[in-house]
Amino acid sequence: MNHFLSTEDVSRQDLTDLLDDADSFVEVLARPIPKVPALRGKTVATMFFEPSTRTKLSFEKAAKALSADTMSFSPGTSALKKGESLKDTVLTVQAMGTDAMVVRHQATGAPWRIAEWVDQPVLNAGDGAHQHPTQALLDALTIRQRFGTLDGVRIGIVGDIRHSRVARSDVFAFSTLGAEVTMVGPRTLLPIAAEDWPASATEDLDHVISELDVVYLLRVQAERGGASVFPSLSEYTKRFGMTRERFARLKPDSVVLHPGPMNRGVEIAAEVADDERSLILKQVSNGVAVRMAVLFRLMGGEHSE
């Protein structure tokens, strides 16, 4: 593995190895001194061409917990404003002596282009509506901690699958790890070629809800056109929201995940979000551990292939 760009081309063994390493980093992060010297002297550049709070902070915390230095980049204040091309920007950053780049970009495929230009590992922190592979890893880790495995676990991903990079990354990662994945949403928000995805699809949440071990609620993404394809937010909540009534119909050991940021009262009721079976904050803390695992895998030690 030279880059970490997508969950579509990662083997079950590689995913499992990364989750195993992430378990070790969970333990590191619980220590009195939650820091190890593994990447001392290395520099990680976080290049977020699109706004982000949690993913950027999470990657920076992960790099620092491995003793790497971080350099960050925000488009609002950069030379991009002066018309510098993407390629010139990344080559400039590389020339300053970085050892890996974490990239988020609004354009699908941008991290792949960057990976061709630079001679260091590139980590995709979200490209357009395409992939967000470290999110899928942290979701998988959270589910594995709860159930011990993903093999045979029934996971429903609910909401705007079509415009969600989280959903795409999750579906492929979960199914590679052996989970039974169901995509739930209005037809307008299910993938266009849903039959090509390793998951089943339904428009009826109430029909499947009592069989699910994990209900993964996606954020209603107004900024990606999500709100224009269903009549109203209250209509969405009525059919696909995790209301208190639906939550009561879940199996007693089922859990709720959400990638954040949440729209309380839309896709998730406030009481559900704060319930102990909602693992949303666990996901956030696991995010640091899985990003440490990926950084360590790509930057620590020589590449075996």
Partner 1 sequence: MDPGDIDRALTRIAHEILERNRGAEDVVLVGIHTRGAPLAKRLAAAIETIEGETMPTGILDIGLYRDDLDTRPKTELGRTAVPEIDGATVVLVDDVLYTGRTIRAALDALADLGRPARVQLAALVDRGHRELPIRPDYVGKNLPTAPGERVTVHVVEIDGHDGVVIETGGT
SS3 category, 4: strand
Buried b (16+ CB within 10 A) or exposed e, 44-53: bbbbbbbebe
Which of 22/184 has CB closer to partner 1?
A: 22
Radius of gyration of the chain (CA): 19
Contact between 188 and 235 under an 8 Å Cβ cutoff? The reply is no
> Smaller CB distance to partner 1: residue 24 or 263?
24
Q: How far is the CB of 151 from partner 1 (least distance, A)?
A: 20
Establish if 296 lies at the interface with partner 1 (CB under 8 A): yes
> 3-state DSSP call for residue 105?
strand
Total residues contacting partner 1 (rule CB under 8 A)?
Answer: 22
Any residues with CB less than 8 A from the CB of 194 and at least 6 apart, and which? 183, 201
Q: Is 304 in the site for partner 1 (CB under 8 A)?
A: yes
The three-state secondary structure class of 272 is helix
Query: 10 to 39, contacts with partner 1 by CB under 8 A?
Result: 17, 20-21, 23-25, 27-28, 31-33, 35-38
**Residues assigned a catalytic role:** 54-55, 82, 104, 132
DSSP string for 150-167: -TT-EEEEES--TT-HHH
Restricted to residues 36-55, the positions that interact with partner 1 (CB under 8 A) are 36-38
The reply on whether position 77 binds partner 1 by CB under 8 A is no
Binding segment toward partner 1, per CB under 8 A, in 56-64, 140-148, 233-241, 295-303: 295-303
* CB closer to partner 1 out of 9 and 20: 20
Task: Say how far apart CA 244 and CA 278 lie, in whole Å.
Answer: 12
The least distance separating partner 1 from the CB of residue 52, rounded to whole angstroms, comes to 27
- The residue ranges that bind partner 1 (CB under 8 A) are 17, 20-21, 23-25, 27-28, 31-33, 35-38, 66, 296-297, 300-302, 304
